[in-house]
Amino acid sequence: MVYRIGVDIGGTKIAAGLLDDNLDFVAISSIPFMRVGGEAVSAAVAAQIRGLLAEAGIGEQALQSIGVAVPGSLDAQEAVVLDAHNLGFHGEPLRAQMQAHFPAIPVYLANDANAAALGELHKGAFVGCQTAALLTLGTGLGGGLILNGRMFNGGRGNGIEVGHTVLVDGGEPCTCGIHGCSEAYCSATALIREANRALRANPAGMLHKETGGDPARMTAKLAIDCAKAGDAAAKQVFDAYVGHLGSVVVSIIHMLDPEVIAIGGGVCRAGDFLFDPLREDVRAKCFFGSYAKICAAQLGNEAGIIGAAMLHYNKAR
- Tell me the mean pLDDT in the region 187-208: 94
What is the per-residue pLDDT across 274-289, written as a single tens digit (0 to 9) for each? 999 999 999 999 999 9
Q: What is the pTM of this model?
A: 0.88
- Domain 127-297 annotated CATH 3.30.420.40: yes
- What CA–CA distance (Å, rounded) separates 283 from 273? 16
pLDDT at 1: 82
Domain boundaries of the chain, sorted by first residue: 3-122+303-316, 127-297
Span of 3-7, 58-62, 135-139, 223-227 with lowest mean pLDDT? 135-139
Bridge pairing between strands 107-111 and 132-137: unpaired
Answer whether residue 226 shows pLDDT above 80: yes
**Rounded-to-integer distance, Cα 124 and Cα 105, Å:** 27
Q: CATH top-level class for 3-122+303-316?
A: alpha beta
Better-predicted residue by pLDDT, 310 or 157: 310
* pLDDT bracket for residue 316 (50, 70, 90): low
Interval 38-79: pLDDT, tens: 999 999 999 999 999 999 999 999 999 999 999 888 888 889
Distance, in Å, from the CA atom of 20 to the CA atom of 18, rounded to the nearest integer, reads 7
- Across 31-67, b (16+ Cβ under 10 Å) vs e yields eebeeeebeebbebbbebbeebbeeeebeeeebebbb
Domains 3-122+303-316 and 127-297 share a fold: yes
pLDDT bracket for residue 183 (50, 70, 90): very high
The average pLDDT across 153-168 equals: 84
